[in-house]
């Protein structure tokens, strides 16, 4: 499925980052090449953000995984205390080797202070991951309001949204209303908001050569990625597509062994026999979204990956499938049994054909048609 160029670009996000004062180049000292003039050294890093209650076992697992990633330069955690509380971003904790360390905040903008003090040596994100519970209270409101700030208005090459069952609401066609509390405590409702448009707009390709980023001239850029290698050769110039990975849908066969429905995929984390971490989904697939420079957004069929974030692979975990065991195998609804009809998800995109789930299907097998968007 592909949106026309500019369709989502005409819908600005709820919160674009406030104008930033120019910050120093990534590296103050420039090097000189073989007679070709000065070259600035730009640096891409990895960013990991975890949101959720520290008492939750899934969040504990996510923190342990992030702590183990030696190739991730910036790791930050926001403790919500309870899944029934809206995330607040005023008390960040640094995820370090064996502990969580409070980040000393001296200004009103804790996130920006973290970026200015801890992330000043990178001008863009090669990869960024955000881990949270899909059931966290007001999580979509919190992301609509704060995702731009969390990324620091810096270009990102790949963004991973690791949130269970997010496909249920993160859909191109369905706008919704998202309620939350402002910092002053007053309730705010964001009405008729299309999450997919808003978040893909925030993640759209950006150019590093601005006064609030590295200000480099791409022809004279010597870029190093998060692994210290010169690939790609220059920092983002706004022409390269951004990849978004998020939860997809997976198919379930009901008790009649014929009816197939799709369910929003929960996501998990496990360790293999050697203790290496693996990210998991019910069928070993994620949804891949490509955000192009011209504003068009393409959603591919669910895809596998050996490198979701920082080299962590994606594996299948059938234990994540809801109600698909022998004792609780998916059942037909009373209405379906009465009508004795089969419910099959429509083919979302006839070219190319595939029989898997799509981003717009809902739990009873009905779905919107992406090609009509």
**Run of H or E residues at 148:** helix 139-151
- Mean pLDDT on 342-348: 35
Q: Give CA–CA dist 265/252, Å, rounded.
A: 11
Per-residue pLDDT at 230: 81
> Is the pLDDT higher at 222 or at 49?
49
**Run of H or E residues at 78:** strand 74-79
Q: Mind listing the pLDDT tens digit for each residue in 289-316?
A: 999 999 899 887 788 889 999 999 999 9
Q: What are phi and psi of 221, to 5 degrees?
A: -100, 135
192 φψ region: left (φ > 0), alpha (ψ -120 to 50), beta (else)? left
- Mean pLDDT on 71-89: 95
The DSSP symbol for 174 reads -
Looking at the predicted structure, is the pLDDT value of residue 335 above 60? no
Q: Mind listing the pLDDT tens digit for each residue in 105-122?
A: 999 999 999 999 999 888
64-68, 132-136, 247-251, range with the lowest pLDDT: 247-251
Per-residue pLDDT at 133: 94
Per-residue pLDDT at 222: 79
Per-residue pLDDT at 212: 62
| pLDDT category of residue 38 using cuts at 50, 70 and 90 | low
Looking at the predicted structure, is the pLDDT value of residue 371 above 60? no
Q: Give CA–CA dist 251/267, Å, rounded.
A: 15
- Mean pLDDT on 181-209: 91
CA proximity to 111, closest of 66, 172, 51: 51
Q: Mind listing the pLDDT tens digit for each residue in 205-226?
A: 998 876 666 767 667 777 888 9
Cα dihedral 310, 54, 59, 92 sign? negative
> Residue 56, class by beta-carbon neighbours within 10 Å (0-12 exposed, 13-18 middle, 19+ buried)?
middle
CA proximity to 131, closest of 58, 73, 70: 58
Q: Mind listing the pLDDT tens digit for each residue in 146-167?
A: 999 999 989 999 999 999 988 8
Looking at the predicted structure, is the pLDDT value of residue 59 above 60? yes
Give Cβ neighbours of residue 355 (< 8 Å, ≥ 6 apart): 251, 347
How distant, in Å, are the alpha carbons of 64, 176, 180, 345, 361 from that of 173?
A: 36, 10, 22, 16, 11
- Hey, which residues does 337 pair with through a beta bridge? none
- Mean pLDDT on 272-278: 95
């Amino acid at each position: 499925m592909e949106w026309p160029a500019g369709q989502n670009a005409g819908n600005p996000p709820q919160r674009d980052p406030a104008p930033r004062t120019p910050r120093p180049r990534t590296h103050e000292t420039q090097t000189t090449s073989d007679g070709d003039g000065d070259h600035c050294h730009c640096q891409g890093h990895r960013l990991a953000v975890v949101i959720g209650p520290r008492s939750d076992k899934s969040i504990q697992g996510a923190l342990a995984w992030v702590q183990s990633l030696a190739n991730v330069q910036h790791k930050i955690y926001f403790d919500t205390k309870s899944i029934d509380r809206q995330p607040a971003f005023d008390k960040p904790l640094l995820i370090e080797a064996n502990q969580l360390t409070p980040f000393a905040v001296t200004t009103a903008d804790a996130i920006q202070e973290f970026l200015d003090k801890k992330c000043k040596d990178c001008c863009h994100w090669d990869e960024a991951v955000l881990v949270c519970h899909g059931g966290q209270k007001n999580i979509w409101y919190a992301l609509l309001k704060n995702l731009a700030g969390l990324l620091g208005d810096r270009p990102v090459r790949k963004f991973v949204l690791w949130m269970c069952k997010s496909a249920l609401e993160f859909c191109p066609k369905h706008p919704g209303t998202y309620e939350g509390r402002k910092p002053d405590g007053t309730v705010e409702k964001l009405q008729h908001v299309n999450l997919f448009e808003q978040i893909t707009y925030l993640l759209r390709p950006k150019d590093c050569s601005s006064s609030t980023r590295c200000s480099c001239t791409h022809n004279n850029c010597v870029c190093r990625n998060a692994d210290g290698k010169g690939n790609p050769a220059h920092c983002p110039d706004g022409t390269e597509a951004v990849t978004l990975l998020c939860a997809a849908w997976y198919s379930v066969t009901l008790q009649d062994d014929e009816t197939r429905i799709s369910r929003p995929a929960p996501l998990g984390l496990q360790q293999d026999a050697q203790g290496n971490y693996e990210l998991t989904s019910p069928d070993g697939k994620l949804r891949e979204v490509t955000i192009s420079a011209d504003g068009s957004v393409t959603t591919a069929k669910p895809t596998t990956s050996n490198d979701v974030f920082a080299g962590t692979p994606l594996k299948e975990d059938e234990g994540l499938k809801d109600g698909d065991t022998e004792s609780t195998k998916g059942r037909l609804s009373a209405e379906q049994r009465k009508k004795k009809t089969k419910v099959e998800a429509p083919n979302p995109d006839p070219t190319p054909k595939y029989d898997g789930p799509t981003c717009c299907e809902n739990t009873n097998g009905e779905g919107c048609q992406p090609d009509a968007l």
